[in-house]
Structure 1
Amino acid sequence: MAVIASKPRVRKRVETALERTIFASRWLLAPFYLGLVLALGMLVVKFVQEILHILPHLLDLPESEMILAILSLIDLSLAGNLLLIVIFSGYENFVSKIGLEGHEDRPEWMGKVDFSGLKLKLIASIVAISGIHLLKAFMDVHDVTKEDLQWQIAIHVVFVLSGVMLALMDWLVERAHLVSARAHQIQDGGH
């Protein structure tokens, strides 16, 4: 009889150990986020390199080239923002909470961006970056082939449509949850 009673306890201990191992596996993502921090540092180096490239020619650059140079800086800045959003939100959603509550510099959105919000911020940033590349191509239209410009427009449109589709899917899922919650309220209220 004691052997029979111990089998469920052994099974429960094995199950608990397995679940804790699976839960702890989230820490395998931490090196990815550290790598993205390194990538953010690499973007800073490219940003500084771009500024150092522009500064000596500041007074000689035609307006259109200056605007293209500034668009390149904005592009790098948006890529940096995108990396930071992915680092913060990904780490907090999948690894561990960042314990900086009450810190004056903690972004307001930090800890509030779920996976769905992260996807939308990600696609919005990609659309913005793509839009900047497209604007740079339009400004430098004499040096861009018609075929390249068409490809850039097509890719940008795909990014925009992808963003709209992601937002629509999230909206539909949210609506389905609301309808389900209302149905449960009506059902519970009827009893």
Structure 2
Amino acid sequence: MQEKTKQQATAYKQSSIMTNILFGSRWLQLPLYLGLIVAQAVYVFFFGVELIHLVSTANKIVEADIMLIVLGLIDVVMISNLLIMVIVGGYETFVSRLNLEGHPDEPDWLSHVNANLLKVKLATAIIGISSIHLLKTFINAHNLSDKVLIAQTVIHMTFVFSAVAIAYIDKLMAHSQPAEH
């Protein structure tokens, strides 16, 4: 009987070590999120360069060019927002809690973020970014072929369809799970 207890203790200890290794592996994502923060800094730099370009050439360029540059700035902001959602939401969901309860700047969505909500938010952000790109394409349509216009429209519609499908699947999954009490 005592031998069986020792074997169980040894098996539990080995299982506990493996569990700790597997659970601890989530921290391998930390360098990825830090890399995205560096990418965010590059976008901030790019935004500044484009803004300086816009201001310095404002009296020399036509309205359509101003609109294209402004749409480019909006695009950078939207991609930056997407990065923040991935960095903060991904870290909170897959690595560790941020413990921001009561912080005045805590985003509303962060308190109920999960992998499914993050996917839906990312999909809608990608649609927004794609919309900006498509609008830039339409503004600049006179310089592009019909093939490019059609291809970008099809790509955008694919993003829209994918986001609707992800949201629908998320809704189905939410209804199939038992209610929490």
TM-score (norm 1): 0.90
Map of 1:140 onto structure 2 = 140
**3-state SS of paired residue (1:111):** helix
Map of 2:58 onto structure 1 = 58
**CA offsets per residue over residues 73-116 of structure 1, 9 Å max, x none?**
00000000000000000000011111332222222222321111
Map of 1:68 onto structure 2 = 68
Amino acid of the residue matched to residue 58 of structure 1? A
**3-state SS of paired residue (2:17):** helix
Map of 2:10 onto structure 1 = 10
Contact 1:97 1:111 in 2 (8 A): no
Map of 1:120 onto structure 2 = 120
Map of 1:101 onto structure 2 = 101
How many residues were matched structurally? 181
Q: Which 10-residue stretch deviates more, 168-177 or 107-116? A: 107-116
Map of 2:110 onto structure 1 = 110
Structure 1 residue 4: Cα displacement: 2.5
**3-state SS of paired residue (2:112):** coil
The answer for unaligned runs of 5 or more in structure 2 is none
Map of 2:80 onto structure 1 = 80
**3-state SS of paired residue (2:9):** helix
Distance 1:70 1:5 in 2: 71
Amino acid of the residue matched to residue 88 of structure 2? F
Distance 1:113 1:23 in 2: 20
Map of 1:157 onto structure 2 = 157
Map of 2:34 onto structure 1 = 34
Structure 1 residue 62: Cα displacement: 1.2
Distance 1:80 1:103 in 2: 22
**CA offsets per residue over residues 116-147 of structure 1, 9 Å max, x none?**
11001101111111111110011111111111
Distance 2:71 2:44 in 1: 16
Q: Report percent identity of matched pairs.
A: 37
Map of 1:189 onto structure 2 = none
The answer for unaligned runs of 5 or more in structure 1 is 182-191
Structure 1 residue 173: Cα displacement: 1.1
**CA offsets per residue over residues 14-58 of structure 1, 9 Å max, x none?**
111111111111101100000000010010011011111111111
Map of 1:188 onto structure 2 = none
Q: Which 10-residue stretch deviates more, 75-84 or 99-108? A: 99-108
Distance 1:40 1:111 in 2: 23
Q: Which 10-residue stretch deviates more, 40-49 or 60-69? A: 60-69
Amino acid of the residue matched to residue 33 of structure 1? Y
